[in-house]
Amino acid sequence: MTTLRDIKCVSCGATYPVGKFVYKCPQCNGILEIRYDYEAIKKTDFLERMQDYGTIRNIWDFQELLPVDHARNIVSLEEGNTPILEYADFVQDDSKPSLFIKDESRNPTGSFKDRPLSVAISKVKEDGSQAIITSTHGNAGVAMAAYAAKARLDSYIIVPDDTEVDKVVMMQAFGSKVFQIEGDISDAYNFSLLISDELGLVNLATTFLSPYTTEGDKTIAFEVYKQFQGNPPEWMVFPIGAGPLLVGCYKGFKELMDLGLLNRMPKLVAVQSEKCAPIAKAYEQGLDEVAEWREEGETIAVGIHEPLRGYPEDGTITLQRIKESGGIALTVSDNEIVQAMFDLARKEAIFPEPTGAVGFAGAMKLYRQNQFKAEDRVLVLISGSGYKESGGYKKYLKDPVKIERSLAAFKTHFGGESDE
């Protein structure tokens, strides 16, 4: 049973009662945030359970801080409880920070998007709605399709025309109807809004359209708290487009502080592709507001190619949370992303999609710039799996060596360089 309090607009401060699925503030179109009765939560066994640093079952271990009233409405595929791994290259060198990786590619559909979609679709089920829609470059659509199938909901997905084929196939396999349009993710997002407004579908876009999806994102913060035994790392590094993953984690750590479990949060670092970096650009220029990205350019990290066209306020709240945490926003090049992909694959046996490796690329760039102290602990989020986007690797690899079935033929190629 949750202890929901109200819903508050982060822009104008208006508050609303918790009820049916909601979107942005009716008064100012600002971003909404769900609030809980923290004093009531303190009277439950939640604090005791949080300080039991043992096994985490899934994100619904934190149901008191999730916006679903009844356990019977939970739609779960056992998402969450993703592992934290230590980056071996840094372990033996005391002059380097401790670098950890939280591998969100281990979620049921291969990305962190399972968290927000589990929460949002559970709320949809609780409301009794039957049809949902989203816009996506891939991971959110795959997650929505899977959880919609579990919940027996009709689901519709709008994708840009450059969406990875493997991801589209997964959406269709789970039973969603997929519509491909010309344009980028902002075009898909705005088109999905038109459809949901006109036809009354519940829109589950995982930007800041609704406060329910970011509630799923914040469960990463709760897991990090438990996995680091109540002492989170000094830094957390995220690949971001609009930034709900980072903002969700900020909210999670802030709630732990409100409950008296924590007296600080990590410095939150946002990493964007230099080909589309509205938030990092605003940070570098010392601005307080983010503008739409108007520059042309393609990046291998298509999952965070987010120009924020028509909704730059999404970037502004992310920028605010970065600054409030004492964090940083920066960009990385495609070459740095590719290097990060292969470092993770060949040194840690982690196979991230290009977008999933962006945070690691950013962390390595900050390390080279001496931004971290030797005693710092740095946690990098790997957001999604390369198993759904192997094409991001293929163009950097040689074709397999074709040989006759003979030992002599094999020996001519034995040893030597890799296929990169």
Q: Where are the beta strands (DSSP E) in 148-241?
A: 154-160, 177-181, 202-203, 235-239
Displacement of CA 63 from its chain's centroid (Å): 20
Confidence of residue 53 (pLDDT cuts 50, 70, 90): very high
pLDDT for 299 equals: 93
In angstroms, the CA 27 to CA 272 distance is 32
* Pair 99, 366: CB distance under 8 Å: no
- pTM score: 0.95
Looking at the domain assignment, is residue 383 inside a domain? Answer: yes
**DSSP H/E element including 221:** helix 219-227
The domain of 286 spans 84-108+213-392
d(CA 238, CA 359): 5
Task: Evaluate if residue 420 carries a pLDDT over 70.
Answer: no
Closest CA to 355 of 275, 290, 280, 235: 275
| 66, 215 Cβ separation under 8 angstroms | yes
Beta-bridge partner residues of 268: 236
Q: Binning pLDDT at 50, 70 and 90, where does residue 2 land? A: low
Give the integer Cα–Cα distance in Å for 248 and 104: 15
Q: Is residue 129, in this structure, part of any structural domain at all?
A: no
Q: Are strands 98-103 and 177-181 parallel, antiparallel or unpaired?
A: unpaired
Query: 303 and 386 in contact (C-beta within 8 Å)?
Result: no
Does residue 420 lie in a domain region? no
Dump pLDDT digits (tens) for 336-391.
999 999 999 999 999 999 999 999 999 999 999 999 999 999 999 999 999 998 88
Query: Does pLDDT of 31 surpass 70?
Result: yes
Dist CA 280 CA 23 (whole Å): 26
- Give the strands of the sheet with 202-203, arranged side by side: 177-181, 154-160, 131-135, 202-203
- Write down the pLDDT at residue 174: 98
> What tens digit of pLDDT does each residue of 66-96 get?
999 999 999 999 999 999 999 998 887 888 9
CA angle at 308 for the pair 246 and 380, rounded to the nearest 5°: 25
* Alpha carbon distance 71, 364 (integer Å): 42
Whether residue 14 contacts residue 191, with contact meaning beta carbons closer than 8 Å, is answered with no
pLDDT in tens, 175-221: 999 999 999 898 999 999 999 999 999 999 988 999 999 999 999 99
Query: Looking at residue 418, what is its pLDDT?
Result: 64
Residue 37 CB burial class (10 angstroms; 0-12, 13-18, ≥19): middle
Pairing assessment for the beta strands 4-9 and 32-36 based on DSSP bridges: antiparallel
Per-chain mean pLDDT for the chain: 94
Phi, psi dihedral angles at 2 (to 5 degrees): -80, 165
Q: How far is 269 from 323, CA to CA, in rounded Å? A: 9
Assess if residue 398 is contained within a domain.
no
**Contact present, 205 and 325 (Cβ < 8 Å):** no
Q: Are 396 and 418 in contact (CB under 8 A)?
A: no
Residue at 146 is within a domain: no
pLDDT class for 415, splitting at 50, 70, 90? confident
**Helices 165-173, 139-151: inter-axial angle, 10-degree rounding:** 10
More confident residue, 296 or 271: 271
Cβ neighbors of 197 (< 8 A, separation 6 or more) are none
Number of domains in the chain: 1
pLDDT digits 0-9 by tens, 238-293: 999 999 999 999 999 999 999 999 999 999 999 999 999 999 999 999 999 999 99
Q: In a 3-state reduction of DSSP, which class is residue 306?
A: coil
Structure tokens at 229: 């035994």
Residue 89 is assigned to a structural domain of this protein: yes
Does the residue 408 lie in any domain? Answer: no
pLDDT number for residue 419: 64
Check pLDDT > 60 for residue 1.
Answer: no
Judge contact between 284 and 322, C-beta under 8 A.
no
Q: Is residue 122 within 8 Å of 106, Cβ to Cβ?
A: no
Q: What is the pLDDT of residues 326-339, one digit of tens each?
A: 999 999 999 999 99
Phi, psi of 180 (to 5 degrees): -105, 130
Please return the burial class of 333, using the count of CB atoms within 10 Å of its CB with bins 0-12, 13-18 and 19+. Answer: middle
CATH number, residue 383? 3.40.50.1100
112 and 104 Cβ atoms separated by less than 8 Å: yes
pLDDT above 70: percentage of residues in the chain: 98
Residue 91 has a pLDDT of: 85
Q: What does the pLDDT read at residue 413?
A: 86
Question: Residues 346, 347, 350, 353: what is their CA dihedral angle, to the nearest 10 degrees?
Answer: -60
CB 357 within 8 A of CB 341: yes
Q: Would you say residue 307 lies in a domain? A: yes
